[in-house]
Amino acid sequence: MILVLSPDATPDQIEHILEHVRQSGFTPFPVKGEFRTIIGAIGDDTNPAAESFRVLPGVEQVLMILKPFKLASREFHKADSVIEVGPTKIGGGHLAVIAGPCAVENEETLDSIAARVKQAGANILRGGAFKPRTSPYSFQGLGEDGLRLLRAVGDRYQLPVVTEVMDTRQVELVNRYADMLQIGARNMQNFELLKEVGQTNKPVLLKRGMSATVKDLLMSAEYILAGGNNQVVLCERGVRGFEDSTRNMLDLAAVPNIKGQSHLPVIVDPSHATGRPDLIPPMARAAVAAGADGIHIEVHTCPEKALSDGPQALLPDQFDALMRDVQGLAKFFHKVLS
């Protein structure tokens, strides 16, 4: 539920309300706005103690939230959340372009890719140091050596970096190097991992699971938010379907669907969704037109030699052409590439 406080609620009253909410078995999440404070009270809404909230000094209104995802809901936070990844903003009219190779392979390759995507206008560098692969014999990533390379190249080109964390045991390590932690599709419902990243102070890029509904995605985000980390960005990357001419089925309707239900930013990954370089640019453009707060594009200077997912990567020249379109669309839709 949400406790809407009166504009003239005093600091002592607010502290008393927070303490009463805790003693009643709820977890309070205060949000201070420009004119008033609201408090999200997360717990059992059928708890009889909740009725006492209405008579507390300083409480103007108590609103029930019927959705199972409380902190991610529009009811809890009316305005679009803006997530800061280094100097880059995502959401609230700010457009993120995350670009880079699927995997960090070596410094020379990563450096050449980073130089090109930075020049084209990307504002976050991606690269996997730990790679979840279908086959145990495929390239699994460089581990901490890959994290060091990603950090060094990101700093060289003044790009914040995002990389995937796959296990609770990796969170502390990845958190030392990355500006943003990615939870991949396979781990969207790894609840222990979600709790762990919820304890960090880093933005989290949460990808939709391969067979997950929008509700499933928002409930996974709720785990991170409930842990105290309110810096969550959602990512639509296609779901598993019957069509076999593309890697996945891209659900662009998820963008406005999520935005109607949640304040969290939403980006789209057409690389993993389509798996085809010829489809990535039109789907990226469509994502921006649908209201996405960013796009996630894989780029490689030599896709045929890439150690991971080369067939779905754009060449730098193709990425240049896409960015010219994206910049035009951003201007048309009044979005800022920060």
What is the structure's pLDDT at 133? 65
Query: In this structure, what CATH number is given to the domain that contains residue 255?
Result: 3.20.20.70
Q: Is residue 69 part of a domain?
A: no
Range of the domain at 113: 83-337
Single pTM value for the model: 0.88
- 3-state percent breakdown (helix, strand, coil) of the chain, nearest 5: 40, 20, 40
Listed in sequence order, the residues at least 6 apart from 280 whose beta carbon sits closer than 8 Å to its beta carbon are 270, 271, 274, 297, 312, 314, 322
How far is Cα 17 from Cα 53, in angstroms, rounded to an integer? 8
Q: What does each of the 338 residues of the chain score in pLDDT, given as a tens digit?
A: 899 999 999 999 999 999 999 999 999 999 888 788 999 998 877 778 888 999 999 999 998 887 889 999 998 898 999 999 999 999 999 999 999 999 999 999 999 999 999 999 999 999 999 877 667 767 777 899 999 999 999 999 999 999 999 999 999 999 999 999 999 999 999 999 999 999 999 999 999 999 999 999 999 999 999 999 999 999 999 999 999 999 999 999 999 999 999 999 999 999 999 999 999 999 999 999 999 999 999 999 999 988 888 889 999 999 999 999 999 999 999 999 97
Strands 27-32 and 37-42 turn out to be antiparallel
- The owner of tokens 């067939």 is 311
What is the structure's pLDDT at 260? 96
Same domain, 284 and 163: yes
How far is Cα 123 from Cα 337, in angstroms, rounded to an integer? 8
Q: Is residue 76 part of a domain?
A: no
Count of structural domains, the chain: 2
Same domain, 153 and 292: yes
How far is Cα 40 from Cα 58, in angstroms, rounded to an integer? 15
Closest CA to 110 of 91, 134, 126, 94: 126
What is the structure's pLDDT at 137? 64
Same domain, 127 and 14: no
How far is Cα 232 from Cα 228, in angstroms, rounded to an integer? 11
Same domain, 45 and 165: no
Same domain, 32 and 87: no
What is the structure's pLDDT at 67? 84
